[in-house]
Amino acid sequence: MARINSGCELFGAPSIIALLYHTAERGTEADATDGMECVVSYTYATHLECSLTGESHDIGRLQGLSAAGKPLLARYDLAALRREVTREQIATRAPDLWRWHELLPIPARAKEVRLGEIETPLIPLARSERPAGFRPPLVKDEGRLPTGSFKARGLCIAVTMAAVHGVRRVAIPTNGNAGAAMAAYAARAGMEAFCFCPEDTPEINLSEIALHGARVWRVNGLINDCARLVAAGKAQHGWFDMSTLKEPYRIEGKKTMGLELAVQFDWHLPQVVFYPTGGGTGLIGMWKAWQELTELGWLAGPLPRLVAVQASGCAPIVRAFDSGAETATPWENAHTCAAGIRVPAALGDFLILRALRASRGFALAVADEQIEAARAQVAAADGLLLSPEGAATYAAYLEAASTRRIEPTDEVVLFNCASGLKYPMPEVTQRMSVA
């Protein structure tokens, strides 16, 4: 199927933007383009779909939640993509996020908001502790991305799509890294940015956000309190809400983690993936990516078991999974040193739980003491400075291995979601005098 090469300005009417998307129902190329040039589709995105009801929504318009108040998911003409593009073509492209443009929602001719989104490496923990007979786990180190965290993946796509639809003000509730990423991409796109952070957000995150030119406030509450402030200010201040899963496109950027794993493992995915889970966008996104790759016929072998890792001081997904519930009840008095996974209530809880069960995975909570010990162990033994959230996945791996919830032969990937340089480190107190 064709895309339009019209040179139209994207910030026009929604009908013009819609023309730039792949449309499975179009007739002949002449009908589709009305005489304009046809080339292979840049994106095969066709529409948005409610994650609960399946109701279709127009991808050519600015969208938030579905009519049912649930997250919207981008859908693609995978049959056409399978006919027209091969996985070998994808693999020969430059190793970055944008190699996957057919499976991203950016319309043809859009100006992508980029800051150098590389394909992140897999680092084996060859010297760190593990049970006898187990293979060294691999860390996918997302700290190499712009702004030092995997939040760059989702926010580069979300900000690009907001720009496509003419948005000029964006706001977000954030534990730190999402706000930093949004502020950076908003600056790149020439947008105003507004960030609301819990009181104990690390100072480095607040300073990073402010240095990017965003307005940032500390809030005497948790991230759900910050989210209420963003929602309350929409009408008065005219900003677009970039909260987790309240717009459709952060998940599309985050799903590239799963797409990258497919290439890095030569289209045979690892047996188990441990993922630090707060709002769960990345976990949901990876499972979505693997479903799309499966439909394209590009994967060989079974899909990974997903493990949602949370802190014992804030574990709503673990509690819901273990009880067999389809949704999670909010966690009271949430607390943990891993602020990125301190999310008392996730909008996409039902999607997280569905992915865990469909993958035959599980959910696991670890104590702050385990997180801090894991961070110290990996830094000293393997020279990799993990974020607390990334360290939580290593702690969970050790627990799952010791209780044989995973097998010694399993190839395991742990996600380190941000550079450890963005978090507090032990104070050095020893001194030496040269006098």
Q: What is the mean pLDDT of residues 177-181?
A: 97
Task: Answer yes or no: are the C-beta atoms of 276 and 413 closer than 8 Å.
Answer: no
Per the structure block, which two tokens stand in for 69? 């108040």
- Lowest-confidence region among 20-34, 73-87, 355-369: 20-34
Q: Could you give the CA distance from residue 339 to residue 427 in angstroms, rounded to a whole number?
A: 20
Per the structure block, which two tokens stand in for 118? 């590389």
| pLDDT band, residue 202 (cuts 50/70/90) | confident
Q: What is the mean pLDDT of residues 283-311?
A: 97
pLDDT of amino acid 18: 62
Q: What is the mean pLDDT of residues 94-122?
A: 95
Contacts 24+ apart (CB under 8 A), 326-329: 326/350, 326/353, 327/353, 328/353
Residues in the chain: 435
| Cα 356 to Cα 69, 174, 293, 308, 321, distances in angstroms | 22, 25, 18, 7, 8
CA atoms within 13 A of residue 239's CA, in its CB half-sphere: 23
pLDDT of amino acid 220: 95
| Cα 425 to Cα 315, 376, 422, distances in angstroms | 25, 10, 9
What's the mean per-residue pLDDT of the chain?
91
Q: What is the mean pLDDT of residues 180-186?
A: 98
Amino acid at 35: G
Per the structure block, which two tokens stand in for 65? 């939640």
Q: How far is CA 332 from the centre of its chain?
A: 25
Q: Could you give the CA distance from residue 102 to residue 371 in angstroms, rounded to a whole number?
A: 38
| pLDDT band, residue 20 (cuts 50/70/90) | low
Task: Answer yes or no: are the C-beta atoms of 329 and 272 closer than 8 Å.
Answer: no
Residue 35 main-chain phi, psi, to 5 deg: 90, -5
Task: Answer yes or no: are the C-beta atoms of 327 and 353 closer than 8 Å.
Answer: yes
Q: Could you give the CA distance from residue 399 to residue 403 in angstroms, rounded to a whole number?
A: 6
- Beta-carbon neighbour count of residue 180 at 10 Å? 31
pLDDT of amino acid 412: 98
| pLDDT band, residue 109 (cuts 50/70/90) | confident
pLDDT above 90 (res 26):
no
Q: Could you give the CA distance from residue 417 to residue 388 in angstroms, rounded to a whole number?
A: 9
pLDDT of amino acid 35: 33
| pLDDT band, residue 23 (cuts 50/70/90) | low
Enumerate residues 6+ apart whose C-beta is below 8 A from 372: 337, 388, 391
pLDDT of amino acid 110: 85
SS percent in the chain: helix, strand, coil, step 5: 40, 15, 45
Q: What is the mean pLDDT of residues 180-207?
A: 96
Planar angle of CA 277, 70, 363, nearest 5 degrees: 25
pLDDT above 50 (res 325):
yes
Q: What is the mean pLDDT of residues 135-164?
A: 97
Task: Answer yes or no: are the C-beta atoms of 347 and 355 closer than 8 Å.
Answer: no
- Lowest-confidence region among 55-59, 214-218, 431-435: 431-435
Per the structure block, which two tokens stand in for 141? 């180190």
Planar angle of CA 209, 115, 153, nearest 5 degrees: 80
